[in-house]
Chains A and B, each alone.
Chain A
Amino acid sequence: MVKPVFILFFLLSAFSVWGADNKYAYADINPSLLMNADAVVRDYKCSIEILANDKIVRKEHVVVTVLNEKGYENAVLDRLEDEFVKLDDASGYLYDASGRELKKMKQRDIVKTHIASYNVFDKDFQLSYDFHYAIYPFTVEYETTEKIASFLFVSDCSLLPGFRCAAENINCSMVYPQTMDIRYELFHISEKPVESVTDNSRTWNLSLHNINAYVRDRLAPRQVFDIPAVVFAANTVQMGPLTGNMDTWQHFGKFFYDLNIGRDVLPDDVKHAVHQLTDTCKTQDQKIGLLYDYLKANTRYVSIQLGIGGFQAFPAEYVMKNGYGDCKALSNCMMALLKEAGVTSYTALVYGGADYRNHFIQSDIPSDVFNHEILCAVDRKDTTWIECTSHDLPAGYLSHFTGNRKALLLTPGGGVVVNTPAYKIKENVAATTVMVNMDGKGGLSGTMHTSESGRFYDLDYQHLYAFTKKDRDLTVSKNISVQDLSMGSCSVALKGTSKLPSLVVDVDFTGKATFNSGGKRIFFVPVFSHVGKIETLAEAVRNTDFYIASSFDVRDTTIVNLDSNYKVEFLPKDIDIVYAFGSYSRSMVVKENVLTIIRAYKQQEGEYSAALYPDYIKFHAAIPADGLAGQVVFAKKD
């Protein structure tokens, strides 16, 4: 009697395996979603439940079909774990193109490694899992539950993994106590969320469907998020033992200000030193300069991330005793030094780096877009910005690392959104004067005098001022397009003001132009400072506005004294082109065996209409790359 039942059971089981629905078959994807996509999110659910200020549960369920090699990174589970974010549970599945399940992943399979960084110490770990499967297309499914101890770590949510990734279904929801007040802002999303209220809680729910892949556009105007995202701000945020309000930038700043109260106490010997240095100063600028030099002489940058998620600075006393600190600690210490000298200053949160286009204060909704801290000394009329981690910059000059952007000043009254100094076309200047003597065999000897400020100062300071002569010679020689170049003396001096320093470089050199055997002609390309490579633009047509990232003003004057046996046989045509975003001119004039070449190249940062893009392409094409098209020919006089 048992046998037939057993056989029947076996047959039914087999049928259930063979006849099972295969989830996430590639063939089920809407073909329109495959355009420009290396991966397609089949389903993404992110649910955030706020149980208490320090008890938040985030559950994520993501299913991604990877279409090709370029989309492979979407198949890897990647999570960060630190003091405030812990992975509580995780599971995963791998499916083939037909949707058949191939493999499972459990939480114990996840690899946990410390993140290698420049920090001497931090508590950040990477949790990752890779199915190691590459028969395309295939699908991975991950489900994770994280326990998060602060709202700050759920405040922004990108709804797509990245570029070239489409999505079929996205759902993002947040459940929070009625006592909390949460604001939100949507980026690249036209749908509206649904908000509801129950007895004790509120629910915020957003669903999106059939989103085409976004393609990276390097010329696009800057945005904090280039792909669909939502940012939340809460009136109550807890971080460690501290609770605060982060619903506005003012409150956000107040929270971080309060986090560091009482950390500006200096040791007595340091206080004494401050007074010795500054009591006789007549101006605030003098005090700032002397104390900045004191800070630089006695401290250095070391990144040790301890204390409430790394947001709290080491006390000033610690910094002065040990001689090191990270950006928070050094800024806090400098603030303490200035305070002792009677100068008011505030630390400021900012994003440091060239890619700040995606990390800046854009909206009213505060979020942690910062990675750095600097200091701003204030008086009635002016501000002086200080980069406390640098030993190279004068007080008052931030460089392009943190210039030209918004920062959040942390004051007793709360956060204040301010602008850091702008370094625009007037500040980013490189002016070069070259005097060259050419003999009758193409031999050259000359001097070059260059003055650089702004971005040119930033680029060249280390290599010209701080390094050895060998490094200096190599850096300078890259700009001189002369054959058989031999560098003579090279002196570098710092000039300008503390708010806009400049480098002045004086060089003498020898070399040669191309000299045809027989001595009839000399071919000479008068290039002594490169404006940078002018790259051909990838796209010929544009339908959306474009953004030019930097402003500068480059001017060269080259004077060539010819051997009296030679005359100018050929001069290239003058160039003079002017557009809204930039201009380029080059003129060559010969008078009594003296050739004068004047070149000017300007570019203006900003957002420009797509209608101007054809002009932008023409501009790029017209500027001679490396000046090779500006060859001058000298011929021997009969």
Chain B
Amino acid sequence: MKLKKAFAFGLLLLLFLSLQSRAQDRFSVVNDAYILKHLNTQIYPLDSEAKAVVLYEKMSIAVDIFSSYYREVKTMHRIVKILDEDALDEADVEDYYYTKGAIGSGTGKIFGTTYTLGNDGTVIKTPLDKSAIFITKYNDVVNGMKFTMPAVKVGSVIDYTYEIISPLTQKLPKWYFQDEYPALQTEYEINLPGQLGFVYITQGKTTFKQYDTRGHAEEDSSEAYYVLKKDHTSSENYGIWCRKNVTPLKFEPFSGNIHNYAERLEIQIQDPEHSYGTLDSQNIRKAWKDFTDGVWDHKMFGRQVVGDNAYLKKTVDSLTAGYKGDRDKAWSIFNYVRNNIYCNDTIALQADKDIKKTFLGHEGNAAEINLLLVAMLQKAGLNASPLILNTIGQLVSDDNYPVIDRYNNTVAIIRQPQGDPILLDASCKYNAFGKLPFYCFNSTARVIDGKGGAQINLDPHQNREKTVNVVKVVTFNDTALVANLTETMGANASRIFREKFAADSGKILSYLYNSLSERARDGGIVSGLTCENLQNPDTEVIVHYTLSKKISKGTLYFATDILRLFNENPYKPMKRTMPVELPWQTEYIYSLTAALPQNVKPEEVYKPVLLSYDDGRIRFKHFLNYDPDMHFFSVTTQYKSVETFFPSTEYEVFRAFHNNVLDEVNKIVVFKIE
């Protein structure tokens, strides 16, 4: 009996070890036949042009307790088929872990194999050697782990697993189901001690269906499912999300951040007293309050504003002396900060040092500068607070999900008893008073005031850009045409122009030449250049210059729009999957007037053109007018878009609309010179 038991035990042990050595659960389909099948596959229907295909990947997060500290043990398992040389760098793997304040952090098991098909059809396996695994100290708190898979070629399958141990942070690593390459199967799993809870949020077109077990989900052939289990008796506290046959995310121009549309999952550890799983509306409000209060209480954020700042009094008093209104006081303080503090990083969420050092040293990042600004404004008795936001190109914030990594920048807000709030960013001396740079308009922002905060909407819709170009033809005879041009730039264009040229206006002329040759038709020579308001950031830049071109007797082919909003249709591709996202509402006005000599007449003048896109979301007018009695010719062009977001379903019509606009601004009037 003993022998039998021993034999049985040994058998069980062998079976257990065999299962362990695979390092996968029974729901993955990875085995040798699987590898061979994929070695022999060169095209995948999911994306026939893919340079690589993720065959299987899984991130597992297990939270455990080690010497009284919570640790996050992250295990990453990935299997990738390489189809093109451009994807060979999938074999170079990098991750990092925090070391400061952590016990037992570092790397765990790291292993992998490259599979390649030999000439005889056999599978060649090359294991990852330890000598190809490198640990590097990045700085005092972060170490990096890097390794590179051996013997990788086009056609290879790489299979690797690694383990990283870090101290637990509230926010677990986010997971993108959808990324650069198509994925056949991609999973995320968490295991927590029973005393912890979590909230999660998914994003993307696909809805995940909940099942009670994975087995049921697999039986259902579900391609997007999740299983959550919290059992106090067995201390099970885990969740798994699985997604299959995921198409890749492809970059398209005029997209804010394509990852805003990517299928992804984010999880945050929560006090288990909160609802398990997703937050209900009551808990969302509480969660946001906790969030803003937490940010306010941070020593490198809110504490900076309310800390000991008696040193500011003298400066604030001198800046506000003589000003009665709050707005004027605010301007004086804002003007001082933007002109006197050098910004070493125009986008920053939190201070790296005390704002007193920023004040005394006249140097800081955007958060330090704007927190200093708030402290000074509060000293002057204004209702100012920091405002955190995410800039264009970052993931947008989610109203149901308060997480700090959705925010990457700090500006300032003054809330008034009446009227709109005043938004301020003093991180650049060319930022206008009351106007944030365009890149701040991405989604919602949060006021951080230690009283629960508030949400402010900052989407691109609120940003407006108006450009006015006026052309006056002052000489028009049989040898020359001379026109005086005045370009009044929009707020954003003015800011960008000042950043380029305010410190070195000598370069403006060559800039105009180089850009005018794109914008202005038929060449010409620029002279008499002057710029207004170059040093005054609270106004628009106005550029005046004269354009001269030679003409000859006979026929003059006159481009009606010497300056155009665009020279070619910006929406070139025929098709699009992402929406078009623009950073602002656009208004463009162009006016040309010409008093014609008696011997100059237009051969024909076109009828006025009015184009409207989707009930006036975009309007375009193009009026050409000739008064034969006065010998006066004029052109008026106006393009106005009150929309900044255009779904991809409209793209064909949207593109065609802009083709029509381009046809109009490309029009040429023929003048006969007698």
A residues contacting B by CB (< 8 A) are 69-70, 72, 111-114, 116, 120-121, 131-135, 297-298, 300, 302, 304, 321-324, 391, 466, 468-470, 474, 477, 481, 483-486, 514, 516-518, 520-521, 523, 533, 535-538, 569-570, 624-626, 628-629, 631, 633
A38 to B569, CA, bound (A): 43
- Do A120 and B92 have beta carbons less than 8 Å apart? yes
- Do A633 and B557 have beta carbons less than 8 Å apart? yes
> If the complex has contacts A323-B151, A570-B555, are A120 and B146 also in contact, measured as CB distance less than 8 A?
yes
- Do B668 and A523 have beta carbons less than 8 Å apart? yes
- Do B518 and A134 have beta carbons less than 8 Å apart? no
| B572 at interface, CB cutoff 8 A | yes
Q: B638-665: which have CB < 8 Å to A? A: 659, 662-663
Residue in A closest to B513 when the chains form the complex, CB atoms: A536
- Do B361 and A629 have beta carbons less than 8 Å apart? no
Of A116, A131, A514, A625, the residue contacting B361 (CB under 8 A) is A131
- Do B363 and A132 have beta carbons less than 8 Å apart? yes
| B280 at interface, CB cutoff 8 A | no
- Do B152 and A300 have beta carbons less than 8 Å apart? yes
- A residues in contact with B604, CB < 8 Å: 516, 518, 520
16 CB-based A-B contacts, threshold 8 Å: A70-B503, A121-B146, A132-B364, A133-B361, A134-B363, A321-B150, A323-B150, A323-B153, A324-B148, A474-B573, A486-B574, A514-B663, A521-B668, A523-B666, A533-B514, A625-B517
A297 to B518, CA, bound (A): 45
Chain A nearest CB from B263 CB (Å) reads 22
- Do B362 and A134 have beta carbons less than 8 Å apart? yes
Of B342, B521, B569, B668, the residue contacting A516 (CB under 8 A) is B668
Interface residues of A: mostly helix, strand, loop or mixed?
mixed
> If the complex has contacts A114-B136, A536-B510, A628-B522, are A132 and B357 also in contact, measured as CB distance less than 8 A?
yes
- A residues in contact with B151, CB < 8 Å: 298, 321-323
- Do A112 and B518 have beta carbons less than 8 Å apart? no
Residue in A closest to B603 when the chains form the complex, CB atoms: A520
- B residues in contact with A469, CB < 8 Å: 49
> If the complex has contacts A300-B88, A468-B49, A514-B666, are A120 and B148 also in contact, measured as CB distance less than 8 A?
yes
- Do A302 and B517 have beta carbons less than 8 Å apart? no
| B134 at interface, CB cutoff 8 A | yes
| B132 at interface, CB cutoff 8 A | yes
Contacts beyond the supplied A523-B668, A625-B518: 4 A-B pairs with Cβ under 8 Å? A133-B361, A321-B150, A536-B514, A628-B517
Residue in B closest to A94 when the chains form the complex, CB atoms: B361
Chain B nearest CB from A218 CB (Å) reads 13
Per CB-CB distance, the 8 closest pairs between chain A and chain B, nearest first, are A134-B342, A134-B363, A323-B151, A625-B517, A536-B513, A121-B134, A322-B150, A133-B361
Q: Interface residue count for B (Cβ, 8 Å)?
A: 62
Residue in B closest to A135 when the chains form the complex, CB atoms: B362
- Do A134 and B148 have beta carbons less than 8 Å apart? no
- B residues in contact with A628, CB < 8 Å: 517, 521-523
- A residues in contact with B606, CB < 8 Å: 517
| B248 at interface, CB cutoff 8 A | no
A618 to B357, CA, bound (A): 53
Which one of B2-10, B137-145, B396-404 is at the A interface? B137-145
| B341 at interface, CB cutoff 8 A | yes
Query: When each residue 465-487 of chain B gets 1 if its CB lies under 8 Å from chain A and 0 otherwise, what string results?
Result: 00000000000000000000000
Chain B nearest CB from A247 CB (Å) reads 36
| B553 at interface, CB cutoff 8 A | no
A400 to B342, CA, bound (A): 40
| B405 at interface, CB cutoff 8 A | no
> If the complex has contacts A120-B92, A121-B134, A628-B522, are A298 and B153 also in contact, measured as CB distance less than 8 A?
yes
- Do A121 and B518 have beta carbons less than 8 Å apart? no
Q: B122-143: which have CB < 8 Å to A? A: 126, 129, 132, 134, 136-140
Of B503, B514, B662, the residue contacting A535 (CB under 8 A) is B514
- Do A483 and B666 have beta carbons less than 8 Å apart? yes
- A residues in contact with B617, CB < 8 Å: none
- B residues in contact with A535, CB < 8 Å: 510, 514
Residue in B closest to A523 when the chains form the complex, CB atoms: B668
- A residues in contact with B153, CB < 8 Å: 297-298, 300, 323
| B500 at interface, CB cutoff 8 A | no
